[in-house]
Structure 1
Amino acid sequence: MSEPGPESLPTSADPRSKRPTKRRAVTPHSEHASEIKTLFKDPSKELRIPTAAKDRTVASLSAPPEIVTNVQGSSAGAGSGEFHVYKASRRREYERLRGMQDAIDKEKSDEQWEKEREEAKKKDEEKTDKNRRRREKKKAARGKQKNGNAGDDGMDIEGPAPGMKKNPNAPGVRSGEQTAGADAQQAEEVPGVIIHDDD
């Protein structure tokens, strides 16, 4: 066997060869890779992004003809060229009908969505009104209790229960504010275990 050398290389792979390389079938992956490669060759070049294709509507399609002069029929004498004319006119007509049907469907779905939106909005407003009335009712009842239950000692509903001593160190009591029971509580010693250190 001979040594592997430049002679054993295929002609297309030989760097000295002037023949163009064989073109392979382009896959979507390789096509995308080549596009990216060309973009990275000159990063300063401005990109041109194509605009999205517009949806075809009934208005964008050409109107059907008012008078049809050459009506295609199923006669045996029609030429072979008439078939393509017939297919094209049928495709245009079907596209026009499909566009009209799409417009009707879109209109119906928009109406349905608007109706559901209005119902949801109405339901939310009713719930909000109900909660507002309930809050106002609670607030009014609380206000009546405050005004109606104020006793001779000036204690209101918010104060401690009768027979309970108010804690001056509680978070609601301001410094310097003393009650009658607070002095007695400070004078009392809390019972417990006393530990003395023997030094």
Structure 2
Amino acid sequence: MSEPGPESVPTSADPRSKRPTKRRAVTPHSEHATQIDTLFKDPSKEIKLPGAPRAHTSSSLAPPPEIVANVQGSSAGAGSGEFHVYKASRRREYERLRLMQAEVDKEKNNADWEKQREEAKRKDDEKTEKNRRRREKKRAARGGNKDSGKPSMDVDKPSTKGPKPPSRAIDQTADGGEGHQPAEEVPGVIIHEDD
């Protein structure tokens, strides 16, 4: 350490120093503020954001060598540089095996999940069908929907309750026969078929 005196070289922390003090971000807030200030110094500069990290798979690793000329054990070349070569190759192989096992486990979990989902869907469909049969049986036992006070949900059948459609008077001709009915507009959809 240097002694405090005029002959010692002042540092930026020393009040006698003429050098600017180094600004260090001490909190996450101040660090973030410093980064934003740096970005705003040159707004025209393009900002490059890092891409999303890629998932490591066994296919993303370098393939193992096809021909291994010098096969060695864990004690071969101990104490020399060859031991580190062995350790590196072993680490690569273990990583490759771990990734392959992870892929197999993931496929197995996906298959199990699909099986459980199909089973739950089948049970839901069975319960829905059972409830539908029970509702139909109950409806048939009370004679359709005529006895209940609830209106029918069938849109094809005209409703027996509610406002009645306007009655159309039939014109009688002088000879007592029936004439044609006066045309009234009935609200609804008119479908024209093209022949």
TM-score range, shorter chain: 0.5 to 0.7
TM-score after normalising by structure 1? 0.56
Report how far residue 98 of structure 1 moved.
0.3
Q: Map of 1:33-112 to 2, 5 A cutoff?
A: 33-43=33-43, 45-73=45-73, 74-75=75-76, 80-112=80-112
Matched pairs, number: 140
Partner deviation per Cα, 1:46-96 (whole Å, 9 max, x = no partner): 432211121111111122222211223324x55622122112101110110
Q: Work out whether residues 72 and 82 of structure 1, in 8 Å CA contact, stay in contact via their aligned partners in 2.
A: no
Q: Work out whether residues 12 and 21 of structure 2, in 8 Å CA contact, stay in contact via their aligned partners in 1.
A: yes
TM-score after normalising by structure 2? 0.57
Cα distance change of structure 1 residues 131 and 81 upon mapping to structure 2, 3 Å threshold: same
Q: Map of 1:1-199 to 2, 5 A cutoff?
A: 12=12, 17=18, 19=19, 21-22=21-22, 29=28, 31-43=31-43, 45-73=45-73, 74-75=75-76, 80-143=80-143, 146=146
Identity %: 68
Structure with more helix by fraction: 1
Partner deviation per Cα, 1:166-193 (whole Å, 9 max, x = no partner): xxxxxx999xxxxxxxxxxxxxxxxxxx
Larger Rg: 1
**Which runs of 5 or more residues in structure 1 are unaligned?**
1-9, 147-155, 159-171, 175-199
Cα distance change of structure 1 residues 116 and 157 upon mapping to structure 2, 3 Å threshold: closer
Cα distance in structure 2, aligned partners of 1:95 and 1:145: 69
Q: What root-mean-square deviation, in Å, do the aligned CA atoms of Structure 1 and Structure 2 show?
A: 3.4
Partner deviation per Cα, 1:2-33 (whole Å, 9 max, x = no partner): xxxxxxxx76377x93x353476x76825444
